[in-house]
Amino acid sequence: MPQSTPQPPSPRWGVNYTPRNSWFHSWLDLNLDDVRADFDAIAGLGVDHVRIFPLWPILQPSRSLINAKAVGDVGRVIDAAAERGLDVAIDALQGHLSSFDFLPSWTRTWHRRNIFTDPAVVAAQADLITALGRAAASRPNVIGLTVGNETNQFSAGRHPDPDAVTTGQMSEWLGRMLDASRSGQPAGMHQHSFDDEAFFNDTSAVTPSMAGRIGDTTAVHSWVFTGVARHYGAGHPAVPNFADYLVQLGSAWSGPGRPVWLQEIGAPAPIVPATDAAGFLDSSIRNTMDSPGLWGVTWWCSHDVDRGLADFPELEYSLGLIDSGGAVKPAGAAFAELIADQRAHPVPPRPRTVAVAFDDAESQRSLTAPGGPVLDTWIDLVRGGIRPTLVRSSLATDAAHLAARGVTEVVSAR
C-alpha cells in the first residue's frame, strides 16, 4: 500500500475531513489556503490520514464530461495533505453526506436513471472512478478509493426516491466500481462503504457477505443515534461498546486475515451529551484496540459544520474534533492524547476466546441488530468482564476456523 511516510504502528489513525469553510460546498471554488490551514490543525492532532469527499456532480456534471479542473483540485488537496505528512483516502461517488444527496442531474427527474443498473450510468461511474484512481496513482500518499459514502442508502426503502436493485445486481455494481478503482490505481487499498443496515436489515441490497468479501477491507460505520439510542438509550453499556461490536461483527463475516476499518465513528448529541463526548471517544476506541485485523480508526469528523449553513440535522453541527472557529474541542484533545498513548504503548492484538454464535442466514440479519438477542448476549458478557467476539453459526463448530481466530468457547445467543 503506498505511503508518504513510514508506516506507523497499527492501527492507522485518521479523520473524515469536513472543510471548516463552506463544508463540502468548498469543492465548488477550492481555496487551498483554507485546506492547508485545516490540514495543519488536523495534523496537530497526531493523525496520519484523512478521508476526503469530492462531490460527484462537480466531478462529472455531464455523463460524458469529467471535469478536469475538479479532478485536478482533488490532486491539489492530496498534495496539500502530503506536505503535512498526511495520507489520503478518497471517496469517489459523492453521493450522500450528512443527510444531503449529491447526485448529478443526468440521473434525476427528466433524466431519471437507476445509478446501480443503468448501463450508461454505470459506465460513466466507472470512467470517473478510473480517472480519480489515475490521479491518485501518481501520488504516493494515497491509500486508495472507497466507492462512495454509504451508497447502500440509495436503494433503501426509507430513501425518498430509491433505486431498486437486487443483491445480485448490487454485487455486480460494486465489483465493477472496484475493478475501475484498481484499473486507475493498481497499488491502492480499495473498498466500499455502507451504513449498518447492511448488517442489520434483512432486506438491504448490500449484504454482510458483500461487506466481508468485496473490496480489500471491511469498512464499518458506527453510529449510536439510530438503533442503539432507540433500544438502549444514553448511559447503557451498548453505547461505548457498539463500535467494538461492529468491528467484531465485521470480522465474523470477513474471516481471519481480512482487515476491518472503523471508517466512521462519531459522538452524536443528544445520545452522547457534549460533556461526555471526550469520554465516549476514548472508551469507544479503546474497546476496539485489541481486535485482530483492525486496520484503522477514522473519526467523524474533523470540523464542526458552521451554523450559518442551513437545514442540517441538529446533531451534524457538533460532530467535529475542531469547532467552526478553528479551536480544538475537548474531544479533539482526547483523540490526540489517545493516539499518542497508543503509539507509545500499543495494545497488541489479542484473540477473543469467547464468541457469541449468530444465525448467518442473511434473511435473519435483524437478529444481530440493537435490541436483538445477539447484541444483548454480547453485552451481558461484556458486563461480566469478558471480551467477546462473534462467530457465524455455519462456522461455530468448524475447529479450523475457531482456531484461526483464537476462539475456545462458543456461546449461544439468549
136-162: pLDDT as tens digits: 999 999 999 999 999 999 999 999 999
Q: Of the candidates 25, 75, 74, 17, which has an alpha carbon nearest to the alpha carbon of residue 49?
A: 17
What pLDDT score was predicted for residue 5? 39
What pLDDT score was predicted for residue 86? 98
Q: How far is CA 293 from the centre of its chain?
A: 16
Q: What is the pTM of this model?
A: 0.96
289-341: pLDDT as tens digits: 999 999 999 999 999 999 999 999 999 999 999 999 999 999 999 999 999 99
Sequence-distant (6+) residues with CB within 8 A of 112 are none
Pair 146, 90: CB distance under 8 Å: yes
Radius of gyration of the chain (CA): 20
In order of their start, the domains of the chain are 12-349 (3.20.20.80), 351-414 (3.40.50)
E-assigned strands of 7-151? 12-16, 49-52, 87-93, 96-97, 100-101, 142-148
What pLDDT score was predicted for residue 1? 40
Q: Of the candidates 213, 248, 275, 225, which has an alpha carbon nearest to the alpha carbon of residue 352?
A: 248
13-23: pLDDT as tens digits: 999 999 999 99
